[in-house]
């Protein structure tokens, strides 16, 4: 059987041949469908070859994303943990494959020193097991010992308890990340395996780690059972395993014991500050901790554009900080929910600044706590101070989904569109279900004249909008994002259908009307409709909203219309823009 199977769209055959030749030169046995025998059914041979391959290289392009064959082959490889991806024209892999890293081969002409090619060969080498190729290209480990914490299984028999098992997995990952002698795979990478039946040795080989931690959580009332096992990624043997049957009040000591047991099993030596950092939970109250995990679950999985997500998070975190006023992470999440309600949904609630300040006073290392401060400062037109807060957040956690999302908005406000797109690409790699981010990428790719990427982002935005609306048909914001994406795809009639439906369901949503104005101005050419919706939106816009409007490329076609200028001028007069703002 071949080591490597190559999947591609028919129009990409010349590059597929170049990739195959390059891999053969590096010592791999490669199979493409140009080698199909004449006497056997196509589907039968493809299934046989792909099941026997140790690595499946999928070459994504605008055409490949539309191919049912390529998607099916990629899905088969993803389930078998043999998937290696590359983009050959700048197209991002479609859902759900965008959750997995890919090599950039855009414009590749066979040059072997290019970073994207080296990345592809390294991944193939890890999976295919060719000793020569692995020796040359295996992912370099930052530490001699490394671990991936797989998502712990929820064994409670209740899907609503999923937030608790996910939270335990995330916290153990965070604890182990504090050990300088241990390399830990990021949470979002590990969670790509959630819900899959995996071979631990395959996971270890694919991620290039020495060990894998897996486990399960069963929570019933005030009782919790947690099992955990540390497995040698090379041999598949157990290095350590334990079962904990405790009261829920012991949840923190269980996590400490797991982390310390891993340290002992790997014969690591903790520095005093590392031991102290692991034992810091942010709260010693199990009830507050349980509420925070529940709020975090809503924050990560709630419907994008649904203000009820923010309202739930605000209420739950509000209760958590009532129970423990020194719970910094709960304060930070409360601040972000309040900030979104105030600035994104224009609700008359606290803007999150006080909650963010409380979080940073308790724990100055929480990157996301800077984000409500960014928005308050922007709303008061203190842009230099806002930019400093944004930079502080990026310095603290450059991998954070929330931080990258906000950094994209700030960069867009400043006219740095390519940088904004880069931040958003990172955000959707961390959170592929972020409908708002996909819709914003549609706008940015259009402005950057990247038609292939724009199309992919629009298709993903429509898919996400449809998923959200299947759960919540009344989500007007999701309809507005879907309308914009449909307009970008040239589906004019469908865009108008979504707009009309949204106006029937949520006519007073002025943020939604702003999205309609963008869709009609940028992608449909309906200036009258765009101005009509924009006028309603600007009736309640704040300085924060106007700053983005000034830089939004979707509205460029309206800027030479005196009615547009009059609307913006009226909104600025209402806000007193041009006058000095009070100090914070």
Helix 371-379 vs helix 353-362: angle between axes, to the nearest 10 degrees?
140
Q: Which helix (H) or strand (E) holds 570?
A: helix 562-575
Name the residue among 486, 484, 503, 504 with its Cα closest to residue 494: 486
Percentage of the chain exceeding pLDDT 90: 41
Phi, psi dihedral angles at 388 (to 5 degrees): -65, -40
Token pair, residue 171, equals 């916290």
Query: Can you state the percent helix, strand and coil of the chain, rounding each to 5?
Result: 60, 10, 30
Average pLDDT, the chain: 86
Contact 7, 56 (CB under 8 A): yes
Instruction: Supply the pLDDT for residue 377.
Output: 94
In the three-class reduction of DSSP (H, G, I as helix; E, B as strand; rest coil), residue 105 is classed as: coil
Q: Helix (H) and strand (E) counts for the chain?
A: 26, 11
Locate CATH 3.40.50.10140 in the chain: 4-137
For the stretch 374-403, pLDDT in tens is 999 998 989 999 999 999 999 999 988 999
pLDDT surpassing 60 at residue 136:
no
pLDDT range class, residue 186, cuts 50, 70, 90: confident
Beta bridge partner(s), residue 247: 223
pLDDT surpassing 50 at residue 495:
yes
**CA–CA separation, 317 vs 515, rounded Å?**
30
Helix 383-396 vs helix 371-379: angle between axes, to the nearest 10 degrees?
170
**CA–CA separation, 539 vs 339, rounded Å?**
20
Instruction: Supply the pLDDT for residue 410.
Output: 95
Instruction: Supply the pLDDT for residue 44.
Output: 61
Instruction: Supply the pLDDT for residue 133.
Output: 39
More confident residue, 141 or 183: 183
The region of weakest confidence among 43-52, 138-147, 271-280, 310-319 is: 138-147
Instruction: Supply the pLDDT for residue 251.
Output: 86
Cβ burial, residue 7 (10 Å; 0-12/13-18/19+): buried
Phi, psi dihedral angles at 182 (to 5 degrees): -125, 130
Strands 238-247 and 223-232: antiparallel
For the stretch 194-242, pLDDT in tens is 877 778 888 888 788 899 999 999 988 888 899 999 999 888 888 999 9
More confident residue, 373 or 275: 373
Locate CATH 3.40.50.10610 in the chain: 145-281
Count of C-beta atoms within a 10 Å radius of residue 84: 29
Token pair, residue 286, equals 């199990």
**CA–CA separation, 70 vs 72, rounded Å?**
5
Top-tier CATH class for 4-137: alpha beta
Contact 227, 215 (CB under 8 A): yes
In the three-class reduction of DSSP (H, G, I as helix; E, B as strand; rest coil), residue 85 is classed as: strand
The dihedral built from the CA positions of residue 316, 321, 324 and 328, taken in this order, carries a sign that is: positive
Contact 306, 477 (CB under 8 A): yes
Strands 30-31 and 145-149: unpaired
Helix 510-519 vs helix 527-538: angle between axes, to the nearest 10 degrees?
160
Token pair, residue 135, equals 């020796």
Contact 136, 118 (CB under 8 A): no
pLDDT range class, residue 135, cuts 50, 70, 90: very low
For the stretch 532-553, pLDDT in tens is 999 999 988 888 888 888 899 9
pLDDT surpassing 90 at residue 131:
no
Mean pLDDT within 456-484: 88
Instruction: Supply the pLDDT for residue 33.
Output: 66
Tell me the C-alpha to C-alpha distance, in Å, between residue 360 and each of 186, 332, 394, 561: 24, 8, 15, 45
User: What does the chain come to in residues?
Assistant: 584
- List, in order, residues 6 or more apart from 259 with CB less than 8 Å away: 172, 175, 176, 278
pLDDT surpassing 90 at residue 78:
no
Q: Following DSSP, what letter does each residue of 148-200 receive, concatenated? A: EEPPPEE-SS-GGGHHHHHHHHHHHHHHHHT-TTEEE--HHHHGGGTT----H
pLDDT surpassing 50 at residue 92:
yes
Locate CATH 1.25.40.10 in the chain: 282-397
| Three-class DSSP labels, 523-549 | HHCCHHHHHHHHHHHHCCCCHHHHHHH
Q: Following DSSP, what letter does each residue of 22-76 receive, concatenated? A: HHHHTT--EE-GGG--TTS-HHHHHHHHHHH-SEEEEEE-TTGGG-HHHHHHHHH
pLDDT surpassing 50 at residue 2:
no
DSSP state at residue 157: S
- List, in order, residues 6 or more apart from 248 with CB less than 8 Å away: 219, 221, 222, 223, 224, 286, 290
Token pair, residue 355, equals 């909650």
Name the residue among 149, 174, 150, 182 with its Cα closest to residue 263: 182
Q: Which helix (H) or strand (E) holds 153?
A: strand 153-154
Q: What is the pTM of this model?
A: 0.70
Contact 338, 372 (CB under 8 A): yes
Token pair, residue 372, equals 């409500």
pLDDT surpassing 90 at residue 157:
no
CATH superfamily, domain 145-281, is ABC-type transport auxiliary lipoprotein component (3.40.50.10610)
pLDDT range class, residue 302, cuts 50, 70, 90: low
**CA–CA separation, 251 vs 231, rounded Å?**
23
Strands 211-220 and 223-232: antiparallel
Instruction: Supply the pLDDT for residue 139.
Output: 46
More confident residue, 392 or 301: 392
Name the residue among 343, 340, 306, 388 with its Cα closest to residue 548: 343
**CA–CA separation, 190 vs 481, rounded Å?**
29
**CA–CA separation, 85 vs 116, rounded Å?**
11
For the stretch 497-517, pLDDT in tens is 999 999 998 888 878 899 999
For the stretch 31-73, pLDDT in tens is 776 554 444 454 566 677 777 788 999 999 988 988 878 888 8
pLDDT surpassing 50 at residue 450:
yes
Instruction: Supply the pLDDT for residue 479.
Output: 92
**CA–CA separation, 333 vs 292, rounded Å?**
9
Mean pLDDT within 285-310: 84
Q: What is the CATH number of domain 282-397?
A: 1.25.40.10
**CA–CA separation, 90 vs 60, rounded Å?**
9
Per-residue b or e along 433-471, where b marks 16 or more CB atoms closer than 10 Å to that residue's CB:
bbbbbbbbbbbbbbbeebebbbbbbbbbbbbbbeebbee
pLDDT range class, residue 315, cuts 50, 70, 90: very high
**CA–CA separation, 558 vs 527, rounded Å?**
7
């Amino acid at each position: 059987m071949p080591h490597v199977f190559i999947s591609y769209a028919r129009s990409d055959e010349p590059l597929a041949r170049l990739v195959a030749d390059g891999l053969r030169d590096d010592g791999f046995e490669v199979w493409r469908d140009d080698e199909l025998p004449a006497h056997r059914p196509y589907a039968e041979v493809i299934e046989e070859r792909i099941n026997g391959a140790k690595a499946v290289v999928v070459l994504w392009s605008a055409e490949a994303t539309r191919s049912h064959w390529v998607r099916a082959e990629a899905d088969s490889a993803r389930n078998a943990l043999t998937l290696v991806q590359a983009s050959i024209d700048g197209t991002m892999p479609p859902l759900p494959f965008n959750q997995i890293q890919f090599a950039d081969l855009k414009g590749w002409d066979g040059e072997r020193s290019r970073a994207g090619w080296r990345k592809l060969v390294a991944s193939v080498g890890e999976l295919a097991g060719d000793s020569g190729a692995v020796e040359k290209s295996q992912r370099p480990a930052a530490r001699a010992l490394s671990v991936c914490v797989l998502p712990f299984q929820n064994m409670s028999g209740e899907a609503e308890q999923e937030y608790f098992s996910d939270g335990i997995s995330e916290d153990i990952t965070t604890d182990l990340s504090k050990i300088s002698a241990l390399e830990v795979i990021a949470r979002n990478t590990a969670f790509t395996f959630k819900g899959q039946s995996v071979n631990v040795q395959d996971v270890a080989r694919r991620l290039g780690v020495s060990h894998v931690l897996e486990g399960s959580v069963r929570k019933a009332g005030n009782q919790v059972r947690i099992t955990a096992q540390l497995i040698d990624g090379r041999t598949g043997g157990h290095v350590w395993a334990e079962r904990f049957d405790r009261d829920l009040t012991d949840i923190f000591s269980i996590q400490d014991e797991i982390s310390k047991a891993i340290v002992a099993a790997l014969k690591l030596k903790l520095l005093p500050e590392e031991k102290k950092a692991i034992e810091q939970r942010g709260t010693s109250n199990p009830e507050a901790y349980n509420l925070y995990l529940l709020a975090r679950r809503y924050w990560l999985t709630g419907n994008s554009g649904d203000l009820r997500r923010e309202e739930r998070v605000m209420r739950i975190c509000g209760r958590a900080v009532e129970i423990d006023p020194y719970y910094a992470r709960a304060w930070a999440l409360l601040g972000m929910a309040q900030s979104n309600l105030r600035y994104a949904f224009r609700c008359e609630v606290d803007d999150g600044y006080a909650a963010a300040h409380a979080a940073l006073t308790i724990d100055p290392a929480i990157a996301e706590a800077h984000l409500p401060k960014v928005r308050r400062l922007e709303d008061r037109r203190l842009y230099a101070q806002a930019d400093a807060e944004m930079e502080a957040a990026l310095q603290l956690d450059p991998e954070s989904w929330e931080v990258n999302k906000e950094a994209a908005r700030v960069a867009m406000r400043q006219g740095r569109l390519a940088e904004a797109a880069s931040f958003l690409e990172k955000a959707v790699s961390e959170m592929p279900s972020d409908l708002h981010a996909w819709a914003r990428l549609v706008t940015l790719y259009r402005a950057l004249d990247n038609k292939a990427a724009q199309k992919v982002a629009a298709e993903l935005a429509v898919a996400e909008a449809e998923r959200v609306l299947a759960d919540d048909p009344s989500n007007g914001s999701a309809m507005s994002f879907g309308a914009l994406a449909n307009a970008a795809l040239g589906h004019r009639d469908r865009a108008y259908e979504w707009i009309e439906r949204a106006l029937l369901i949520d006519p007073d949503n002025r943020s939604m009307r702003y999205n309609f104005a963008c869709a009609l101005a940028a992608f449909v050419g309906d200036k009258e409709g765009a101005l009509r919706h924009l006028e309603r939106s600007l009736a309640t816009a704040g300085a924060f909203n106007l700053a983005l409007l000034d830089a939004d490329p979707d509205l460029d076609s309206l800027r030479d219309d005196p009615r547009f200028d009059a609307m913006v001028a009226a909104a600025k007069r209402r806000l007193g823009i041009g006058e000095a703002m009070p100090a914070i």
